[in-house]
Amino acid sequence: MESADFVVVGSGIAGLTFALTVAGRGRVIVITKKDDAESATNMAQGGIAAVTRDPDSFEKHIEDTLTAGVGLCNREAVGIAVRSGPAAVERLMEWGTRFSRTESSDGSIAFDLGREGGHSDRRIVHASDMTGREIETALLRALGRHPNVEMWEDHVAIDLVVRDTPAGRACGGVRVLDVERDRVVTVAASVTVLATGGAGKVYLYTTNPDIASGDGVAMAYRAGVPIRNMEFIQFHPTCLYHPTVKSFLISEAVRGEGAVLRGLSGRRIMEGQHPREDLAPRDVVARAIDKTMKTTGDKHAYLDISHVDAARVRERFPNIVTRLAELGIDMTSEPIPVVPAAHYLCGGIEVDLECRTTLPGLYAVGETAHTGMHGANRLASNSLLEAVVFSRRAAGSAIAELDDRRAALGPAPDPAWHGNEAGSVPEGVLLDYNWDVVRRLMWDYVGIVRNERRLVLAGARMAGIAEEVDDLFSRYPVSGDLLELRNICLVGDLIIRSALERKESRGLHFMEDFPERDDEHFLSDTVVVRNA
């Protein structure tokens, strides 16, 4: 057993922001599944949406966010995030992030702002096309200098430690699998923070890193915490289509600089589909590509920026240009083959505006949390903004209640681990098979366009898989692959159940049976909760 004042599960921008903010108040342990930089943050190309100059305004950014969210955004959460945007950018720079700058017409140096789908103005603060990597590197460097913070790499969270206290149930830490030493460790903590990112690995095709298996949502659900709006899975319209490369995102900022989407015949896909055409919100663009592919039988679409000045393209997107060139694609002179892929979880663990969950002592931040900011569809580059703003709010709340949490948990030891010992599963083929079945089932039956029949079939098949996986978990040694399979089964089930509840089409959730938005019956969140 180890103990800490704060334990943070996840090492992306949300978890690191929280850790840096609370580090001066006690011992912090950051749990990460692989190495410290492996996170969705590190793969983010676009940037952070923030109002930094006229004629842009907070009101315009708020309105763009609400429009993308199709009636389900928490207006207070949106206002907090947008108005805190400039301070969030400033804090990232204080921690060492270097954003791209340009010389203005009056000779002053300002942010080189990008524009992405759904935004009415240029407001994307970026570091070329490697914003996530720049932020992650800066935060890890700042964190490494702090004596109170420990980074535990190659540790996989198993479940939360839930304690019975005189005041009721409370979170007292987390149990983790130490992969290198094949042992289970209980980390007792006064404050536990889930910052585990999204759940893209539930789907066959995703822009997410391999670690994105919805662990935080699954652990919180098993502990009895409500989960909201899991039907809203954002599919990024432009993931590279290539036989040997997976999960390489072609940033939405490419369309912001003038790229257009075409079918293999050359016809423009977004023409006449939306007033903003190729800069329409992601749900609209992803569905249009999906429809084109299904109608024509094409395996992919094209993203074409060859008509834009080549020097500007190379300057703005050096990382994308270089990576595509390595694959034999010159994006300055030829179109890029792309397909939609699972990208972002707009639902997640229910939290308040300080990111407290309903389980005392447990917080959730970043993509795994549902603050209500994104509603039914996330506006591009609002994710990094939300992560910084709300992680800092969570940190302030956690610091304020630290002494009370220590007193509430008391000196009693946390329950010991009564599960199986760590080790490898003797029949790995069972894990591999079920991994593939779950991800293909979700892609084919619970993808961009849905209907009730496919969802019902998916739910029945997922129940059978989950039963088999639960049996494996009860009989076999604990391993990272088994833990992730257990979690994607549960998260897949939560997505299916939530999708079946919403008998309308709204934002990222499109139902063939119910193609219209229905504000009379469904202008509310979908909530699922397990009685712990």
Catalytic positions: 282
130: which residues sit within 8 A by CB, 6+ positions away? 45, 318, 319
Strands, E assignment, 387-495? 449-450
Range 365-397 burial, b when 16+ CB lie within 10 A, else e: bbbbbbbbbbbbbbbbbbbbbbbbbbbbbbbeb
Q: How far is CA 281 from CA 65, 172, 278, 311, 432, in A?
A: 10, 41, 9, 28, 35
Identify the residue whose tokens are 């935060």: 139
Phi, psi torsion values for 160, nearest 5 degrees: -75, 150
Q: Among candidates 118, 440, 458, 448, which has minimal Cα distance to 291?
A: 448
Q: Give the position of tokens 């850790």.
A: 19
**Among 143, 62, 61, residue whose Cα is nearest residue 96:** 143
Q: Which of 35, 23, 367, 431 is nearest to 229 (CA)?
A: 367
Phi/psi zone of residue 118: left (φ > 0), alpha (ψ -120 to 50 degrees), beta?
left
Nearest to 353 by CA among 83, 143, 136, 10: 83
Q: Could you tell me which of 279, 310, 340, 322 has the C-alpha nearest to residue 124? A: 279
